[in-house]
Amino acid sequence: MNVLNSSEAHDECFMQSRTPATTFDALVVGGGPAGLSCSYTLAKKGYRVAVLERGRTPGTKNLFGGRVYSSPLERVYGSLKDAPVERWVKHERISMMDDDGAFSVGYDSAVSTSFTTYLSKLVAWMASKAEAEGVTIVTDVRVDEVVMENGKAVGVLAGGDRIDSDVVVVAEGVNRLLCERMQVVPPLSPGQVALGARQVIKIGAEKINERFGLAGDEGLAWFFLGRPSGYLPGGGFLYTSSSTVSLGLVLYLQEGMSVSSKHVFEILEDFRNSPPIGQLLSGGSVVEYGSHLIPEAGLKMSPSRLYGDGFVIVGDAAGLVLNLGYTVRGVDFAVHSGYLAAQAISDAHSSGSFASENLATYGNKLKESFVIREMRRHNAIRKLMNKKHVFDVYPRVMVDAARRLYEFDETSPKFLEVGRRSMKGKRSPLGMLNDLLLLARGP
């Protein structure tokens, strides 16, 4: 790979002074899925592109749960035969948990539209694809500012050095410091994000298949509500890789800061040792752990402008993440937004300038894409995901109902009787109806 770290870039006279350095057709700030998708697509069209990445190598700063939906990547890269796919997800499970038990439902399929992977490996693979098309990737460099002249983005300042370009692609992720300085977003608030924490536990392929009922390269995606997040908004997840299991939780930051008295990794440890997770992961060793922020405010978190004179904003920086409770869409949204941004940049180039009115095609393409359609269509779920009773009352009620149905001495109960007893004093019928109506109304 033709990846340069910042010192090597200086040696090659890439950034030597405060005067403008080499001019690129496009500068991409951030070497994650969105930025690399955009740079790869532009390079294939013949543009000179540079990616500026703060990490030591592409992928070292990237962390997520473990699942990626494949279609958007196939649109950009074609075959994924050489991609770092761990397992293809063919088994889905969701569980409501209380302190003593779990109520689970599952779905098994012979086909798959998503796979598990390590994001660090996937990003490194995407970087190699971009490099093969001629993209210059500079790592270990911090971009401090997007240079604006007469209201137009003309380059960036990185470590005090200036690099000029015709257009700047802001793919900086959830910590949107550049966007704040450009005054297109306010500072992040706890109500906009969640904290994700994950452990990677090595068990071995044979034990994973045996314990989780898998065969070959089949994968499992498992979501949990209730106990894993301490009954706070958020939840737990488990993804199987080839020889490891990724176990983690998502905790909405505002509620976690105001209510929880435990450190997030204490909550994660409690989850790992709880039944049935403790038995399934017994004998495994933790080989990796980490945490990161996740955009959770939906379209309300989007910048006031996703494009302007000489710039576009993509991926997490644009707030393009959707948590449905039973699955999470993020990497595929990021990849597609980068792809659409590249298309719009190419269209603007053909129009003769990178003025806002020409880059507006990015906003139009994004609005018409599955990304924005999905985020709007599931807006009601986002509203429910902020309500504490969804993660406290309902998991306890579901597990209690299952306990009443199956744990009896002689007389088996009726369904309506179980429902009334389990719900008594916890959530009124009117409250449940309001929650159902919220889902039914949609956006």
* φ/ψ (deg, to 5) at 109: -140, 155
Three-state SS for 201? strand
pLDDT at 429: 79
With CA atoms as reference, report the closest residue to 236 among 268, 190, 273.
268
| Residues 198/63, Cβ–Cβ less than 8 Å | yes
Fold of 3-64+119-185+303-368: FAD/NAD(P)-binding domain (3.50.50)
Buried b / exposed e over 22-59, threshold 16 CB at 10 Å, is eebbbbbbbbbbbbbbbbbbbbbeebbbbbbbbbebbb
- Rounded to 10°, the helix 119-132/33-44 angle is 20
- The reported pTM is 0.91
For the chain, the structural domain boundaries read: 3-64+119-185+303-368, 67-118+191-295, 383-441
Distance CA 443, CA 432 (A): 19
Q: How far is CA 251 from CA 226, 231, 345, 408, in A?
A: 11, 10, 37, 35
* Residues ≥6 apart with Cβ < 8 Å to 348: 167, 354, 355, 358, 359, 361
Distance CA 7, CA 59 (A): 19
Distance CA 399, CA 102 (A): 6
Question: How big is the chain by its Cα radius of gyration, in Å?
Answer: 23
> Which stretches within 45-118 are classed as H helix?
71-77
Distance CA 195, CA 367 (A): 28
Mean pLDDT, the chain cut into blocks of 10 residues (443 residues total): 48 38 86 97 97 88 86 96 97 95 95 95 96 96 95 92 95 94 93 92 97 96 94 94 96 80 87 93 94 89 94 96 91 98 97 95 96 90 83 93 91 88 84 77 58
Q: How far is CA 198 from CA 93, 236, 341, in A?
A: 18, 10, 31
Give the DSSP letter of residue 20: -
Work out whether the CA dihedral 316, 318, 322, 323 comes out positive or negative. positive
Helix (H) or strand (E) holding 122, with range, is helix 119-132
pLDDT at 50: 97
Distance CA 294, CA 175 (A): 10
CATH code: domain 67-118+191-295 is: 3.30.9.90
Distance CA 128, CA 414 (A): 60
Query: How many residues are listed for the chain in this entry?
Result: 443
Characterize the bridge pairing of strands 328-329 and 218-226: unpaired
Three-state SS for 111? coil
* Residues ≥6 apart with Cβ < 8 Å to 399: 96, 97, 98, 100, 101, 102, 103, 226
pLDDT at 61: 74
CA geometry: angle at 322 spanning 320 and 327, to 5°?
Answer: 140
| Residues 317/305, Cβ–Cβ less than 8 Å | no
Residue 149 burial by Cβ neighbours in a 10 Å radius (0-12, 13-18, 19+): exposed
Work out whether the CA dihedral 104, 105, 111, 117 comes out positive or negative. negative
Distance CA 368, CA 347 (A): 16
Three-state SS for 191? helix
Residue 403 burial by Cβ neighbours in a 10 Å radius (0-12, 13-18, 19+): middle
| Residues 373/443, Cβ–Cβ less than 8 Å | no
Q: How far is CA 191 from CA 181, 184, 214, 298, 379, in A?
A: 21, 18, 38, 11, 16
